[in-house]
Amino acid sequence: MSAGAFSDDKVVAAAAKIECVLVDCNWGQAHKDLSDKYKIRGYPTVVFTDSDGKQIELMTDRTAAALVKQITTIADKHTKGVTYLPSWEKASEAAKKEQKLVLYFFVGSDKDESAALKAAIEDDSLEKLRESFVLVRMKVDPDAADCKRFEILDGTSPLLLILDPAAEKPEEKPLMRVTGKRDAEQLKQMIETVLEARK
């Protein structure tokens, strides 16, 4: 990569979708097991793998734009399960870039309700719908910046927000606000209604 690619804001934003691992081989003196596994012949070398460590490909182009594309393609194709980003800041940035909405899951202290809502969000029947969103998840903490931003004061029940990051003040006009547990079918209908209204 060029010296600037790893400092490019778009590359850094895309990197939230993958695990970024730096292996300092100390000129062959350290991490020899990993170097052998991925047949490293020189430095620097960037290897992309799936979550089990199986090599997918090497970095193909050193420009920032190409690296963003490669990271995004690999993340979309090889991420297992449902991926959540950790904050509104990261999610809104990614959602703007991908022209998606943000689905924000605030996990409440009621474990049963939160687990039920999580199961609904991650249900296979919503797989296609989830492609319209960047997902965020955080435990309700009234002191956290995102809880203050979205005025999440009661941390008992889980809460789900659908937000348009392109809106002027998305926190003031959520497209959907659901408190408490829902099953997958209920959630699917709600999300479809939101998406239908935006067409």
Return the residue of 56, 65, 145, 166 that touches other proteins, per CB under 8 A: 56
**Sheet containing strand 159-163, strands side by side:** 133-139, 101-107, 159-163, 176-179
Evaluate whether 150 touches 104 at the Cβ level (below 8 Å): yes
69: helix, strand or coil: helix
b/e 48-84 (16+ beta carbons within 10 angstroms → b):
bbeeeeeeeeebeeeebeebbebbbebbeeeeeeeeb
Question: Between 51 and 189, whose beta carbon lies closer to other proteins?
Answer: 51
Question: Between 73 and 125, whose beta carbon lies closer to other proteins?
Answer: 73
11 binds other proteins (CB under 8 A): yes
Question: Between 35 and 63, whose beta carbon lies closer to other proteins?
Answer: 35
Q: Residue written as tokens 């959907």? A: 176
Q: Quick one: DSSP state of residue 12? A: H
124 binds other proteins (CB under 8 A): no
142 binds other proteins (CB under 8 A): no
Binders in 83-112 for other proteins, by CB under 8 A: 83
68 binds other proteins (CB under 8 A): no
Binding site for other proteins (CB under 8 A): 3-9, 11-12, 15-31, 34-35, 38, 40, 43-53, 56, 59, 71, 74-75, 78-81, 83
